[in-house]
Structures are given as C-alpha cells and as structure tokens.
Structure 1
Amino acid sequence: MKPANILVADDDAVARELLAEALKKEGYVVEAFASGEEIIARGRQGQVDLVLTDIRMGAVDGLTVLREFKRMNPDTAVVVLTSFGSLEGAIEAIKQGAYDYLAKPFKKEDITLVVKRSLDHCRLVRENTRFREELKSKDEWSPLVGSSPAMLEVYTLVARVSESKSTVLLQGESGTGKELIARAIHTNGPRRDKPFIPVNCGALPDTLMESEMFGYEKGAFTGAAGNKVGLFESANGGTLFLDEIGELGQAVQVKLLRVMQDHEVRR
C-alpha cells in the first residue's frame, strides 16, 4: 500500500522538525513548511492525505489553512496544532471542519494515535465518495444517504462485501433498511445484471415456503399439476434476499443450510 502523504506547517522550527521526523519514522511521506502560504501553495499541486497545521502562525494562520484545504480537497483530513493554554482556537477549528487537534508539547503516542485515526477517516471518506459515484453510474438515484462515521463504515463494508460470493447476514431492527443494503450489495457487485429477489420468510407457512424456495416437479404431491421453478433457481447468478429468516421453521432452516453449504438445490 502506498504510504500516506502528510503536510506539516509550523513557524516554530523545532516543533516542525520534531513532528516531521516522528512521522517519517512511522513510514509516512512528510513535507514540512514554515508558513501557511507555503503549505497552501503545496496543496494546490495535488491530493494530500493529511495536513497538520499550527493554529497561530504569521499572516496566514491555521484556520485559513484549514478553510483553504477544505475548499481545495474536501476529503483531506486536517489536524490543528496548539498549546495547552490555547485550546479555544482548536475548538473553533473543529467546528469549522478540522478532524482533531494535537496539543504541544507532543507525545509520541498522541501523534501516532491522532494521525492513524485521521488517515482512517480520510480513507473512509474517499471510499464512500467512490462507492457513491459507482452507485450513481449504475442507478440514477440511490436510497442510501448519510455521511456520518457509522454510515461511512456501512458504505465501506458494502463495497467490500459486494465482490464476495459468500452468504451475507444482515442484522438490524425492523425498518433500519436491511433490504436497501442488500440491494446496494447486489447493485455494486458482479451480480448487478442478474435477478434480485426479496422474500419475506414470515409471509407464508413452512409448507408453502419450502415449495416456493425449492420448487417441485409435476406429480411430486397432490395438486402438483406441473413443474415449478423455485426462488433459488430463479435467482441463480443473482441475489436471493431472505428477509425475516428467523421466522422459518427448523425443518426448512435445515434444508436451507444445506443449500447454502453445497450451493446446490434439488426439487
């Protein structure tokens, strides 16, 4: 994986070099600047993963640096540097979009923790943006909304799971959008051009649900006047979303487990 690109701005040469060297030892690509003007000019040259900027500098202070980077690269994480006796500026910076702050004098463990969390946040924001764009390219409108840290995690998991062939368990209270997530997984993966079939497992008694899922051959039982293709066959190559699966009886669940294990179905 390509190492993260970090920019540091502080007019205090000692603090600037101390922070830059600590980050380089962690394996990051680090560029250090003595003023807000310099780091903003560097930001105009290309994408940056993380910016660490002192709050109080010369004509261009840390808040100005924050605003400029949020304008140029909204997905860049910004952490402000401040002294213990001057936290008001850090609080204001967080209100304006800074991810976090570091108080001087720096402790190595604090630097490591804040930088890791900031870069994780930056990665999630970018993965969310990429995922949303991919969804837009497949559907003109997507019902998935939200940009909170929890939703960013959901988008990331959906993007990751969508490429898998594994059975996926979606858990959540009624009305939280499990089917929306199932559709997003289907739409974002290689099965997008195949059927997506949702089934409410609590809507039918077990005897009928078994026939619906597995199908049957003509004459298999009284009233079986013809062949019936089951839902598993209908969803072949696509996605079968079994909603409220806990409502199924034990006998049907055992047969369902066998299908999921063997990836085969028999009428």
Structure 2
Amino acid sequence: MKPLSLLIVDDEPLMRLSMSDALKAVGYDVQAASSGTEGVEAVQKRQFDIVITDLRLPGTDGLTLLQTCKQVSPRTEVVVITAHSSVETAVGAMKLGAYDYITKPFQMDELLLIVDRLAKVLALRQENLQLKEELAGKFSFQGILGKNERMRAVLEKIKLVAGTDSTVLIVGESGTGKELVANAIHHISPRKDHALIKVSCAALPETLLEAELFGHEKGAFTGALRQRRGRFELANKGTLFLDEIGEISPVVQVKLLRVLQERQFERVGGNETIEVDVRLVCATQKDLKKEVAAGRFREDLFYRLNVVQVVLPPLRERQEDILLIAEHVLHTRSAHMNKDLKGFSQAARELLLRYSYPGNVRELENMVERAVALGRAQEEIQPWDLCGFQSCPYLGGSPQDSCGFCSEGLTGAARKEAPTCSLSMARERFEREYIVSVLDRVGGSRTEAAKILGLSRKALWEKCKRYGIPSGRNGAEPESDED
C-alpha cells in the first residue's frame, strides 16, 4: 500500500526536522517547507494526504495556507500547530476546515497520535470509496443494492421499463425500497431532466389529497386564499410518484382514472381544463386485486395502473443481500460519523442473517446506523450494538424485555425455525449464558463465580469482556493469578 504523503510547514528548522524525522520513521512520505509561501507552492504542485502547518509563518500565514489547500485539494486534511496563547485562532482554523490542532510545546508522540488517527480516517474514507465503486459496478443500480436473483431480475425490469412512458405499479412490503425504484425509473428515463414529484396518498385526507393532486382555485374552499397548481401540473413533462395508491378514496379514484384516460383535469373549484404530459409511477403494500374484490378499489383503475408491475421481495427472502446492505451502510455511516470500526463480529453477522426483518431494508439500515453510533472505535460491531436495548439478553437482560432482534437469536424456537447457527457460535452463546447465570447466583462476585467455573479471576474477566457481560462488584480488571 502506498504510504500517506505529508507536508510539514514550519519556519523553525529544528522543529521542522524533528517532525519530519519522526514521521518518516513510522513510514510516511514527508516533504517539508520553511514558509507559508513555500507551502502554498507545494500544495499547488502536488496533492498531499495531510498538511501539518504552523499558524504563524513568515510571508503567507497558516490560515491562508489552509484556505488555499482546501480550494486546491478539498480531500487533503490539515492539522495546525499553535501556541497556547493562540488557541482561539486554532479554533477559527477548525471552522475553516482544519481537522485538528496541537499546541506548542508538545511531545512528538502527541503529533504521531493525531496523524495516526487521521490516517485511519483517511483509510476508512478510501475503503468506503472503493466499496461504493465496487457496489456501483456489480451489485448496485441507482442506489438499489442486491445480488439476490429476484432483485437482479427487478433491476433488469427497471432498466427495460424506464425508457418507456408506461405506467408502473411497484408492489412490496413497507421498507422494501419502493421509492428507490421510483427514483431509478425517473433518473434513467428520457424525462430525467424534468421534475420528479412525489405524493404520499396515505398522509392526506380525501379533500386535501384531491387539492394536492389537481390544485385549486382561489376561494374553492375555506383557506384557499390563492390559486394553487397541483402535483400533476408540477410534474408536467416529468414523473409523478404516488406512494400508497391503495389508500385513495373512491372520489379521488374517479378523478385519477380520468387523468389517466384523457390526460386532462380541472382544478378544485375551477372550470378550466388543463392538459398534462405526465409519466405515472405508483406504489402500494396492499394487494390491489383483493381490494378490487372487496369493492374498495375500482377495477378499471387497477388495470390502468397495473401496466407494468414491479414486485419487490421482502428482505427475509433475499438473505444473500443482508450482509451486502449491512456492510454498505456500515461503511457509509462510519465515514459520516468519523468512526473507525472493524466491521461486524461473527456473532453479529450470525444474528443479522437469522433475523426476519419485519421492517425490511429500512429496519436493517436503522439497526446498522444505531450500531455505528453505539459501537466503540477500533472494535467490532457486537449484537448489543445492533439492538441498542439496555435489557439486551446478550448483556444479561431478559429476552422478553428486548427488541426481539437478540431474543430471536437466543430462543430455542428461533433456532428450530432457522438452524443456521455455527457450532462455535452455539458454544460461545451457551458459555456466555452459563457465566451470566453463575454470576447471578453469586450476586455478581467474580471471585466466587471463578471458583464455581474452575477459572482464574483473570480468565473470567477476559471472558466477561469478550462477551460484553457487565462488570461485577467493582468492574476493575483483576490482577494476574495462577490458574
């Protein structure tokens, strides 16, 4: 791997040499400059990963160098050096985009620690970019991830239908990504340069939905103080996405049918006939055929909407996509939160694959984002990070009080339904549960528990740390002792 490139800008020869030698000794590619002017010339000629600069420099000062660096190479991170009396100036530099600052005098280890931390952030950022490129090339299309066979078929259908003006009906459970499909259809269609207008039909009552779709004239109803164009007008030449189309009332169904048949309508309270050229994409989690049979949805409208149907499978039926999506969210959210995480532990991966995801992809994304927020830097994501419950059974809580995610991974019923747990994981799970039960029996005393378990206090402490078992009476690390 190519070493990170660093530029050191400092007018004190001894300080400049000391920093250069220390950073070169740990493997960085270091270049030095003795003034702000030299530093500006250097960043204009070459792109550095990190620039370390004193704020007080002859000629061009450190703040000017910082601003120049951010203009020329936005991805370059800058660390500023300042005296104790100029900390406010350093804070100002942070507002201008500096990554961190260090105050003189400082130990070289302090600087090395900052650079090491920054190097890990840059590595994570690069890994994230590479992952995005890989996903974009192989398993991603317009933000939709999937290597499951059914999802690949969905993506192919999207590509085929996008170039037409056919009405599309997207069917799938909540959280499966219906809006992403609508976005993809619009953004690769000939209408992509025009508006994509979205309406949630379930969020508005009948009267408001009608006015929202078709617009209204001034005075059409109480509160209509001026004329307003509806979503159909706003979407002219573009695409209109109607989410939860199964929720619209019979009155709105009639008006929508007319628009689809004649491509024209009147605003609420108006007489002027308005013609539109709109591509309609609809989505529903209801079975519209059953709604038609029950008399709640017009049969003629259903056939008008159901020209091309795209069915999104629930996440539980595309298991090979679970870790793909989870890893993608982990990398993107880690970069956003500036966290260096080592990925998912084996136990967390097993649970991710075992869970049924009633909330589908949306629930998985929320789980992973929560895990990133709760996860500890430089460590792996654990099951308790994913569920975020204090009563998580992996932390000694009751499965009945947890979120259902971890309890599904622990209950015997879940094991019978989905016996995909590896032998090593089953062994670790039993060991953890048994240690928790022994600790409960002895009131949390690790000395007593160690005697019962036939372990040294040190060995028990290490197992408790590994499994995330809460600290005992004092929570301190025990001194080494003989087994």
What residue number does 2:40 align with? Answer: 40
Q: Is 1:114–2:118 an aligned residue pair?
A: no
| Rg larger in structure | 2
Using the size of structure 1 for normalisation, the TM-score is 0.59
Any conservation in 2 of the 1:77–1:121 contact (CA below 8 Å)?
no
Task: Spell out, residue by residue over 1:96-147, the C-alpha distance to the aligned partner (whole angstroms, 9 max, x if none).
Answer: 1111112122312211211111222222233333334444552213686767
Tell me the CA shift for residue 178 of structure 1. 4.5
CA distance in 1: counterparts of 2:363 and 2:66, whole angstroms: 37
What residue number does 1:139 align with? Answer: 141
What residue number does 1:214 align with? Answer: none
What residue number does 1:63 align with? Answer: 63
Any conservation in 2 of the 1:63–1:93 contact (CA below 8 Å)?
yes
Q: Is 1:179–2:364 an aligned residue pair?
A: yes
What residue number does 2:413 align with? Answer: 252
Decide whether aligned partners of structure 1 residues 170 and 80 sit closer, same or farther in structure 2, where only a CA change above 3 A counts.
farther
What residue number does 2:128 align with? Answer: 128
CA distance in 1: counterparts of 2:44 and 2:350, whole angstroms: 43
CA distance in 2: counterparts of 1:11 and 1:23, whole angstroms: 18
CA distance in 2: counterparts of 1:17 and 1:34, whole angstroms: 10
What residue number does 2:81 align with? Answer: 81
Decide whether aligned partners of structure 1 residues 119 and 20 sit closer, same or farther in structure 2, where only a CA change above 3 A counts.
same
CA distance in 2: counterparts of 1:29 and 1:249, whole angstroms: 50
What residue number does 2:245 align with? Answer: none
Tell me the CA shift for residue 152 of structure 1. 5.5
What residue number does 2:21 align with? Answer: 21
Tell me the CA shift for residue 256 of structure 1. 5.3
Using the size of structure 2 for normalisation, the TM-score is 0.35
Secondary structure of the structure 1 residue equivalent to 2:58: coil
Task: Spell out, residue by residue over 1:7-50, the C-alpha distance to the aligned partner (whole angstroms, 9 max, x if none).
Answer: 10012222211211222222322111012232233223443221
Task: Spell out, residue by residue over 1:53-96, the C-alpha distance to the aligned partner (whole angstroms, 9 max, x if none).
Answer: 11111332111221222223222221001112221221111111
Paired letter, 1:139: F
Percent of counterpart pairs with the same letter? Answer: 32
Moved over 4 A (4+): 133-137, 142-149, 151-154, 174-178
Number of residue-to-residue matches in the alignment: 195
Paired letter, 1:259: T
Secondary structure of the structure 1 residue equivalent to 2:143: coil
CA distance in 2: counterparts of 1:135 and 1:44, whole angstroms: 33
What residue number does 1:232 align with? Answer: none
Structure 2: gaps (5+ residues): 145-179, 181-328, 369-403, 424-483
Decide whether aligned partners of structure 1 residues 170 and 248 sit closer, same or farther in structure 2, where only a CA change above 3 A counts.
closer
Structure 1: gaps (5+ residues): 184-242, 263-267
Aligned pairs (5 A) from 1:183-202: none
CA distance in 1: counterparts of 2:143 and 2:415, whole angstroms: 38
Task: Spell out, residue by residue over 1:161-215, the C-alpha distance to the aligned partner (whole angstroms, 9 max, x if none).
Answer: 9xx9x944459xx9895423799xxxxxxxxxxxxxxxxxxxxxxxxxxxxxxxx
CA distance in 2: counterparts of 1:113 and 1:80, whole angstroms: 14
Secondary structure of the structure 1 residue equivalent to 2:120: helix
Q: Among 398, 402, 422, which residue is 1:261 paired with?
A: 422
Secondary structure of the structure 2 residue equivalent to 1:3: coil
Any conservation in 2 of the 1:170–1:178 contact (CA below 8 Å)?
no
